[in-house]
């Protein structure tokens, strides 16, 4: 089942025409330059949104269950992570969301019975922190004045002030970024 908020976020993010140039990162610390040079090819379009598919195992209560999910991250507006799993043989689906400054979590069994719903300032703040950390999947977003780079212990680090919050993120990379 498709998530309407995820599809709307993806559909309303305009395509980028801005391209990456190494000249944009010459002033950054060495670890940041290595990471961004490895992540972005010269002349690549700087995407404004990314759509990710993933699968793995998620711990719900005491048990681990397989899941699959789709996530859209739009730096300008936020993200939607929509996942499906089974709990005691019953299908559970839902999403974690931060769009336009509002965070929420909504999960249902069989798409009908609420398992968990949460929103409010704490959920929003947490979701914005997640958006900041997951900006690594959208490296063009890390080339704005909202982001201050530094060298970390094991790779580049950045402090981002965006969407009404501030977060510090440290990446672990090899010598090539």
Q: Which two tokens stand for residue 63?
A: 């048990």
Q: Which two tokens stand for residue 134?
A: 């997951």
**Other CB atoms closer than 10 Å to residue 159's CB: what's the count?**
14
Q: Are 31 and 173 spatial neighbours (Cβ–Cβ below 8 Å)?
A: yes
Q: What pLDDT score was predicted for residue 88?
A: 85
In degrees, rounded to 5, the angle at the alpha carbon of residue 29 between the alpha carbons of residues 26 and 31 is: 110
At 8, give phi and psi (nearest 5°). Answer: -65, -40
pLDDT at 61: 76
- Write down the pLDDT at residue 177: 78
Contact call for residues 107 and 84 (beta carbons, < 8 A)? no
Report the C-alpha gap between 51 and 73 in whole angstroms: 7
Quick one: tokens of 126? 């947490």
Query: What does the block give as tokens for 54?
Result: 């993933």
**Tens-digit pLDDT profile for the chain (177 aa)?**
578 999 999 999 998 999 999 999 999 999 999 999 999 999 999 999 999 999 999 887 788 899 999 999 999 999 999 999 998 889 999 999 999 999 999 999 998 999 889 999 999 999 999 999 999 999 999 999 999 999 999 999 999 999 999 999 999 988 777
Length of the chain: 177
pLDDT of 1 = 59
Of the candidates 162, 131, 130, the one whose C-alpha atom is nearest the C-alpha of residue 145 is: 162
């Amino acid at each position: 089942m498709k998530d309407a908020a995820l599809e709307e976020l993806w559909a309303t993010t305009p395509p980028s025409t801005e391209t990456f140039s190494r000249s944009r990162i010459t002033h950054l610390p060495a670890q940041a330059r290595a990471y961004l040079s490895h992540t972005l090819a010269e002349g690549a379009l700087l995407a404004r949104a990314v759509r990710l598919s993933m699968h793995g195992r998620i711990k719900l209560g005491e048990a681990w269950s397989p899941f699959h999910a789709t996530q859209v991250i739009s730096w300008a507006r936020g993200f939607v992570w929509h996942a499906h799993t089974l709990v005691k043989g019953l299908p559970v689906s839902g999403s974690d969301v931060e769009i336009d400054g509002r965070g929420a979590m909504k999960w249902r069994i069989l798409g009908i019975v609420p398992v968990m719903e949460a929103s409010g300032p704490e959920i929003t703040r947490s979701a914005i922190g997640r958006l900041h950390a997951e900006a690594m999947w959208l490296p063009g977003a890390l080339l704005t004045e909202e982001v201050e780079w530094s060298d970390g212990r094991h790779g580049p680090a950045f402090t981002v002030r965006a969407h009404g919050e501030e977060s510090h993120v440290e990446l672990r990379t090899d010598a090539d970024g």
